[in-house]
Copies of this chain bind each other. A is one copy, B any other.
Amino acid sequence: QKSLQSSPSESDPLPSWREGKTKQAIMDYVASVTDPNSPHFIPVPDRIATFDNDGNLWAEKPLYFQLIFAMDKLKSLADQHPEWKKDPVMKAAIDHDTEALFKYGEKGLMKIVLASHANTTGEEFEQEVLQWIKTAKHPSLNRPYTELIYQPMVELVHFLQKHKFKTFIVSGGGLAFMRPWVEEVYGIPRDQVVGSTIKIKYDDHGEQPVIRRLPELEFIDDKAGKPEAIYKFIGRKPVFASGNSDGDLQMLRWAALGTHQSFMLLLHHTDAEREWAYDRESAVGRLNMGLTEAPMKNWTITDMKNDWKIIFPPSDSK
């Protein structure tokens, strides 16, 4: 399955990237490690590339899109749960009052994530996500969330795939929230997604066996969780890793030191006009230590404003 958004010309596999040192570094790396005559040649099975998702493959402002899904779902169920209105966290979510919600910190967010992501079967949840992603629109940009993906990053994914890299998403976002749409939107197979999980249970007491999603956190795929999950789900150290926040640092530090030549990429959100500009002080997607560490370690930083010709795919691309 190919993404809808990609149609690079024959001559330029990264047409949405401006010529410059970032694009050149990517092209040089891929040329070097895929050339059988290069001392840096990497055999195909070892060509593992991992991509963070929020703020790296699609936008993450004003807040993680998955939280908007959670609030939308709780709102749609509110009439059946009058008791939620008496709970300040649930009420904030139902009212989409993110300012009020954020006052309750991670505990508040976890509560609405569990309330909105559990107590369904795997198949029911899949349908809910698909329905939402097809119809919901971003509050300020007024476009479907799947059009708020970064066109240059999608081109990069496909460029690597074309050179036989196996591309994975490794995201703090929910595994089950991403799987239903990543294949069509990014061209990344749904079994090549690693993410945060809640507990599940096989249940064969009904007419048909089903997977039940339980209201209990299992694993957060962020920070040290990323290399742990890569070890567990992929079983090979990536040679190419890409992220945008300090939550990706452990993945990059670990992946950078494999036996093969590696390429570590950080996306710096520098474009207040076309997207958002944020880094060291941002609550969502903070990039602080990474900005200091990257130059010391020869990691590449994408400067969104200067390196990208366009941010999102053109509106008429569908």
Contacts and interface: CB of A to CB of B under 8 A. Distances in A.
A132 interface: no
Contacts of A45: 1, 183, 189-190
Interface string A246-265: 00001001100100000000
Contact of A233 (B166, B191, B208, B254): B191
Contacts of A197: 232
Interface stretch (A55-63, A223-231, A298-306, A308-316): A223-231
Pick from A191, A224, A228 the residue with the most CB of B within 10 Å: A191
Interface residues of A, number: 36
A282 to B, nearest CB: 24
A234 interface: yes
A204 interface: yes
Interface string A193-224: 10001001110100011010000000000001
Nearest to A218: B232
A64 B253 CA distance: 37
Given A193-B235, A231-B122, A236-B190, A250 B166 contact: no
Given A191-B166, A250-B204, A253-B204, A209 B235 contact: no
B231 A200 contact: yes
Contacts of A233: 191, 233
Contact of A211 (B1, B179, B231): B231
Contacts of A227: 202, 209, 211
Given A191-B234, A202-B250, A257 B208 contact: yes
A201 B228 contact: yes
A175 B228 contact: no
Contact of A175 (B48, B122, B166, B232): B232
Interface of A: 1, 45, 48, 122, 166, 175-176, 179, 183, 189-193, 197, 200-202, 204, 208-209, 211, 224-225, 227-228, 231-236, 250, 253-254, 257
